[in-house]
Amino acid sequence: MEKIKMTTPLVEMDGDEMTRVIWQWIKDILILPYVDLKTEYYDLGLEYRNATKDQVTIDSANATKKYGVAVKCATITPNAARVTEYNLDEMWKSPNGTIRAILDGTVFRTPIIVKGITPYIPTWTKPITIARHAYGDVYKNTELQVPANTTAYLVSVDENGNETRELIHKFGDSAGIVQGVHNVDASIRSFARSCFNFALDMKQDLWFASKDTISKKYDHRFKDIWAEIYETEYKEKFEAAGIEYFYTLIDDAVARVIRSEGGYIWACKNYDGDVMSDMVATAYGSLAMMTSVLVSPDGNYEYEAAHGTVQRHYYKHLKGEETSTNSVATIFAWTGALRKRGELDGNADLMAFADRLEAATIKTIEDGVMTGDLYLLSKLENKKKVNTEDFLKAIAERL
Ligand code: NAP
Ligand code: MG
């Protein structure tokens, strides 16, 4: 066949360990034979991040702002052990954190559903996408442990030195704890816009919840900002697309999610998103079947797998042992990026290719050919465990 042409490049962010190995194989086996792939390549592997003093991460994020679409491989976030292992100059920050700060984005995580792997909630026949607000609240808190007979106040001072003071609690004969948290309107607005845009993209309903009945200023501010942005910027677009924006209390949302069949986007405040994304991911089966996309409020997209670099498998691979690492989420990062590139460039062939590669991947697993992690979960009768590379070849046959 004649290879599918691309007009605009994708930003390609390479990464570390087992996912770096898989990255190259996906390109060689599943993409390059069919697509005249155009990418602007950034090596976010830890060695090169260290060599460039992490400038490569910043450059890759700025390139994403320029071109609008990126695909990212999992990367190591260095800790003390990695500083020794890679002889690093510094304990470089998480690349995902750096990229998210530059793009001001929200992360959306969606499970990939296949026959044979039943979610722990069997009524969840469609994916639930979770969006987590990644700023403020308890993650940027100030807290104190206070002795008995202490009085705690919440105090704010404006630019003219005017003080506002509210009593938090007069501690009696028991010591206790106090905590101060904050958020900023601008961040809540960016979060809301990213979510409204993504819902329009996916043509799915959008849910948002907080505890505004109890937190009449803090959580209520979230509710009000979302309502105002919806009314003034998105209501007509949602109605035209036939989708709904639904606000409710967080405990009501949790009850409804459990009873639902899935198929919507659930936007969560920072803590709710932290907790609920782990619950939802576990309920759908495997982290290796979870895709993730960072969407900025002005419409830039960075696609990746939700899992890490699968270090344990990489060390086996280095020793020449066979691995059975699941490449599905990384494949879907590529298809997500190629489809979005196609959509932005009016390239129907590229969009169709992304659809076919996803369909071939799902068909492979539903035919019973799968990696070890899914083999343990699948209820298919004639299932077969294959190694990392043979799984990709089985997809290529179907593609
Ligand atoms: P991980 O790479 O997600 O792997 C944890 C375990 O989950 C693996 O050992 C494996 O279990 C299983 N697993 C995850 N992905 C799998 C896949 N595709 N196929 C099969 N099994 C899979 O998390 P980690 O080991 O905690 O972190 C390793 C490195 O990744 C760290 O340096 C961390 O900083 C980085 N990380 C990066 C990102 C990112 O770039 N977005 C996210 C998370 C972590 P078994 O060993 O039992 O088979
Ligand atoms: Mg969590």
Q: What pLDDT, on the 0 to 100 scale, is given for residue 269?
A: 95
Provide the pLDDT for residue 101.
85
Q: How confident is residue 140, by pLDDT bands cut at 50, 70 and 90?
A: confident
Q: Is the pTM of this model over 0.85?
A: yes
Give the closest residue (by CA) to ligand 1 atom 41: 74
316 found inside a domain: yes
What is the 3 state secondary structure string of 49-85? HHHCCCHHHHHHHHHHHHHCEEEECCCCCCCHHHHHH
Burial class (CB in 10 A: 0-12, 13-18, 19+), 293: buried
Q: Please report whether residue 290 resides in a domain.
A: no
Residue nearest to atom 4 of ligand 1 (CA): 310
Q: What domain count does the chain have? A: 3
User: For residue 176, what are the CA distances in angstroms to 44, 153, 202, 288?
Assistant: 45, 14, 47, 42
pLDDT tens-digit series, residues 56-103: 999 999 999 999 999 999 999 999 999 999 999 999 999 998 998 898
Q: Is the pLDDT of residue 237 over 90?
A: yes
CATH at 6 = 3.40.718.10
One domain, residues 133 and 233: yes
Inter-residue contact 392 to 327 (CB < 8 Å): yes
| 146: confidence class by pLDDT, cuts 50, 70, 90 | very high
- Cβ 288 under 6 angstroms from ligand 1: yes
Alpha carbon distance 218, 220 (integer Å): 5
Report the pLDDT value the prediction gives residue 100, as an integer from 0 to 100. 87
What are the tokens at 11? 């930003």
The CB of 312 under 6 Å from ligand 1? The reply is yes
CA angle 36, 42, 43 (to 5 degrees): 115
**Is the same domain home to 147 and 238?**
no
C-alpha to C-alpha distance for 372 and 359, rounded to whole angstroms: 20
Q: What ligand has the least distance to the C-alpha of 280?
A: 2
Contact 107, 135 (CB under 8 A): no
The stretch 266-279 carries a mean pLDDT of: 91
Q: Is the pLDDT of residue 135 over 90?
A: no
pLDDT-derived band at 105, boundaries 50, 70, 90 = confident
One domain, residues 155 and 42: no
In angstroms, how far is CA 66 from the centroid of its own chain? 21
**CA nearest ligand 1 atom 10, residue:** 310
- Tell the residue nearest (CA) to atom 26 of ligand 1: 308
pLDDT above 90 covers what percent of the chain? 90
Are both 370 and 226 inside the same structural domain?
no
Ligand 1 nearest-atom number relative to CA 306: 41
Using DSSP, state whether 209 is helix, strand or coil.
strand
Contact 96 CB / ligand 1 (< 6 Å): yes
Share of the chain above pLDDT 70, in %: 100
For residues 23 and 99, membership in a common domain is answered with yes
Q: Residue 289 domain-assigned?
A: no
Q: With a 6 A CB cut-off, is 362 part of the ligand 1 pocket?
A: no
> And the tokens for 64?
């994403």
- Which residues lie closer than 8 Å to 155 by C-beta, 6 or more apart? 163, 164, 165, 166
Are 48 and 126 found together in one domain? no
Question: Which of the residue ranges 16-25, 34-43, 294-303 would you say has the lowest mean pLDDT?
Answer: 294-303
Instruction: Judge if 128 and 232 occupy the same domain.
Output: yes
Pair 235, 251 in one domain: yes
Which one, of 60, 115, 95, 109, lies nearest residue 333 by Cα? 109
Q: Is 380 within the bounds of a domain?
A: yes
Single-letter code of the amino acid located at 363? K
CA 158 to CA 114: how far, in whole Å?
55
Digit-coded pLDDT (tens) for 276-333: 988 898 898 888 999 999 998 888 999 999 999 999 999 999 999 999 999 999 999 9
**Integer Cα distance of 246 and 266 in angstroms:** 10
pLDDT tens-digit profile of 169-214? 999 999 999 999 999 999 999 999 999 999 999 999 999 999 999 9
Strands (E), the chain: 10-14, 39-43, 69-72, 106-111, 128-132, 142-146, 151-157, 163-170, 176-180, 205-210, 245-249, 264-268, 290-295, 301-305, 369-370, 384-385
| Burial environment of residue 12 by CB neighbours within 10 A (0 to 12, 13 to 18, 19 or more) | buried
Is the domain of 232 the same as that of 304? no
Give yes or no for a contact between 142 and 179, defined as CB atoms under 8 angstroms apart. Answer: yes
For residue 333, give the 3-state DSSP assignment.
Answer: helix
Ligand 1 pocket: which of 117, 303, 307, 376 to mutate (most atoms within 8 A of CB): 307
pLDDT at residue 46, as a whole number: 97
The range of the structural domain enclosing residue 269 comes to: 118-141+182-284
CA of 128 to the centre of ligand 2 (A): 16
Alpha-carbon Rg of the chain, whole angstroms?
23
Q: Judge contact between 24 and 45, C-beta under 8 A.
A: no
Give the ligand with the smallest distance to the CA of 309. Answer: 1
The verdict on the CB of residue 52 being under 6 Å from ligand 1 is no
Domain co-membership, 173 together with 271: no
**Which pLDDT score, from 0 to 100, does residue 287 have?**
84
Determine if ligand 1 sits within 6 Å of the CB of residue 187: no
For residue 15, give the ligand 1 atom closest to its CA. Answer: 40
Please compute the mean of the pLDDT values over residues 29-46 and round it to a whole number: 98
